[in-house]
Structure 1
Amino acid sequence: MSEQGTQQGEERLHSARAIVWARRRAALSTFWRLYRTQRAGLVGLAILIAITLLTVLAPLYTDEAELRASNAPGGRMESPSTEFWFGTDQTGRSILLMVIWGARVSLQVGVVAAVLAVTLGTLIGMAAAHFGGWISWVLMRLTDWFIVLPNLVLAIALVIALGPSRITIIAAIALTSWASTARVVRAQTMAIEGRPYIERAQALGAGHWHQMTRHVLPNLMPLVLASATLQVSSAILAEASLSFLGLGDPSQPSWGTILERAFDAGAISVGAWWYMLPPGIAILLVVLAFTLCGRAMESVLNPRLRDNT
């Protein structure tokens, strides 16, 4: 009998897991079906896929060694030509090559910083709404303090204090951009915890961890994902701003670093528009693409916005 009971228990467990995965596949299928109706979101997704492929596959069709000034293949400040589509910089390096490899740094910093910021904001917002009392007061006053402070000024201070590097820039951007997410998550968590199934879970003896991970967080995920997508564009702009101010990682080119070097080389005064325009357009395209995807996800995941479109 014990073996039969064990076997039945395993069958029920597998059946429950199968049901969960079936629901997840159905949810993803529904999400994609609704997302395809958002034309702007499809445009943004296509731009992101194209830029990601060009960035990830860069080692296959380019030579990273040409990024070093000693291996520069061109002349100084050459205008765009069939050999150098975007021209060259003051040391003869290809601007196109620098933009392609700079995308790897800018996208990595933007995505990682956005994920860290949204994760921190989600945890603080959930804790403030769930526990309430003095914990909520302390966390919200801390959130208000970060909202009031200028993000860029605080990020500059952190990078100067810790030293310019890729890790420092990621940490500075994440620590200065989580507050808005925390406020939104707190409000949504309070709305979720007022629903009847949360009260039933509490009556059945569910602890804080069970309530937050099994009931609150799954209902927050659509909001968190949309917020993370929008946060990436802000993080990329912040990285470009810090790098343009000379606080970027000097060993790795990013779009902001290219703009900073172009400014130092006097590209504006000599009319070398090809030095500053490509990285600027690249930043614009990526920020626009993430914004379009984020707005489309908001419309799909928020029934109220979907009904109004």
Structure 2
Amino acid sequence: MTSTTPAAITWRRRRAAAATVWRQFLRDRGGVVGLVVLVLIIGLALLAPVLTDAAGLDPTQATGGRLQPPSGTYLLGTDELGRSVLLQLWWGARISLLVGVLATLVSVGIGTLFGVATAHFGGWVAAVLTRATDFFLVLPSLVLAIALSTVLDRGIFAIVLAIGVTSWPTTARLVRAQTLSVESRPYIERAWALGAGHLHVIGRHVLPAVLPLVFANTTLTVASSIIAESTLSFLGLGDPSAASWGTMLNSAMLSGAVTFGAWWYLLPPGLAIAVIVLAFMVCGRALESVLNPRLRER
């Protein structure tokens, strides 16, 4: 027997909406291909400790020659310390994805908080938060992230913090616009008339309507965060003890891989960054076209 309680009805509607979104997403071939690529890369990154030996990343245990070209033993050759480039590429996916996801969570969390508060409360609260958002929008986010990375102790979480606290204004503006649209609807006015408070309106009405669009924007933000992490690591501001794709490019530059013609040391991390960023982008665009009412109408 089907339950008719309000909570059960709400969950049935949400499951039906999620199923509809999934069916519409599957119609986008680019989004499906991007999702398959992401699942494959994330799966390989998670299985790295099971399928490979992390000891191969230790320079003291390297057995290959310096900048050795691809061979049967080293499929992608070796670096300047004799370590497998393929092994570094595999483990580097873990760091790049970890930093990208964590920085995105920080960025989206701050942006959602600022966006909802700016649109909901108005008055002096909106004025202060809008000025703060405009301040971060004017400043180049990469330059600010570089400045923060040089001040903070070098490490993964310093990179996460530097990227997260400099890349949230875009999300804040998106959430603010969506919140203003939601709060102009009649059922919000009825909620206020019935005595609803700020927490009830935000938690029960605003956030459920805003979060789908935030989720679509999150996939795009992950791609930007991965590029930012790779850029900071390439500039030598990442964690030198952690293998990431940006760190690999930095090491290749410092070791003279270009001079030696060691393309196997330069191309794999660069292509990996391009592939995963492209996969996140096409998935994000596909989700945005499904979840954004304006794009869906077009």
Shorter chain as denominator, the TM-score bin is over 0.9
Larger Rg belongs to: 1
**Alpha-carbon distance in structure 1 between the residues aligned to 2:296 and 2:115:** 25
Quick one: percent identity of the two aligned structures? 57
Residue number in structure 2 paired with 1:54: 44
Give every structure 1 segment of 4 or more consecutive aligned residues whose post-TM-superposition deviation is greater than 6 Å.
none
- 1:188 Cα shift? 1.3
Q: How does 1:38-117 map to 2 (within 5 A)?
A: 38-117=28-107
**Alpha-carbon distance in structure 2 between the residues aligned to 1:83 and 1:27:** 51
**One-letter code of the match for 1:162?**
L
**One-letter code of the match for 2:271?**
I
**Alpha-carbon distance in structure 1 between the residues aligned to 2:229 and 2:125:** 32
**Aligned match for 2:121, one of 131, 142, 147:** 131
Q: How does 1:138-217 map to 2 (within 5 A)?
A: 138-217=128-207
Residue number in structure 2 paired with 1:254: 244
Does residue 295 in structure 1 map to residue 285 in structure 2?
Answer: yes
Q: How does 1:219-238 map to 2 (within 5 A)?
A: 219-238=209-228
Residue number in structure 2 paired with 1:6: none
**Alpha-carbon distance in structure 2 between the residues aligned to 1:201 and 1:185:** 21
Superposition CA RMSD, Å? 1.5
**Alpha-carbon distance in structure 2 between the residues aligned to 1:132 and 1:60:** 52
**Alpha-carbon distance in structure 2 between the residues aligned to 1:94 and 1:205:** 65
TM-score, structure 2 as length reference: 0.97
**One-letter code of the match for 2:143?**
V
| Larger deviation, residues 71-80 vs 92-101 | 71-80
**One-letter code of the match for 2:101?**
V
| Larger deviation, residues 179-188 vs 102-111 | 179-188
Residue number in structure 2 paired with 1:5: none
- 1:116 Cα shift? 1.2
Q: Which SS does the other structure have where 1:176 is aligned?
A: coil
**One-letter code of the match for 1:92?**
G
**One-letter code of the match for 1:122?**
T
**Aligned match for 2:274, one of 261, 284, 292:** 284
Q: Which SS does the other structure have where 2:165 is aligned?
A: helix
| Larger deviation, residues 71-80 vs 39-48 | 71-80
TM-score, structure 1 as length reference: 0.94
**Alpha-carbon distance in structure 1 between the residues aligned to 2:11 and 2:225:** 33
- 1:14 Cα shift? 8.0
Q: Which SS does the other structure have where 1:89 is aligned?
A: coil
Residue number in structure 2 paired with 1:267: 257
Deviations 1:246-291 (A, max 9, x none): 0101111100000000000000111101101000000001100000
- 1:81 Cα shift? 1.3
**Alpha-carbon distance in structure 2 between the residues aligned to 1:56 and 1:70:** 25
**Alpha-carbon distance in structure 2 between the residues aligned to 1:162 and 1:90:** 29
**Alpha-carbon distance in structure 2 between the residues aligned to 1:225 and 1:176:** 19
Aligned residues: 298
**Alpha-carbon distance in structure 2 between the residues aligned to 1:186 and 1:61:** 45
**One-letter code of the match for 2:249?**
L
**Alpha-carbon distance in structure 1 between the residues aligned to 2:192 and 2:101:** 36
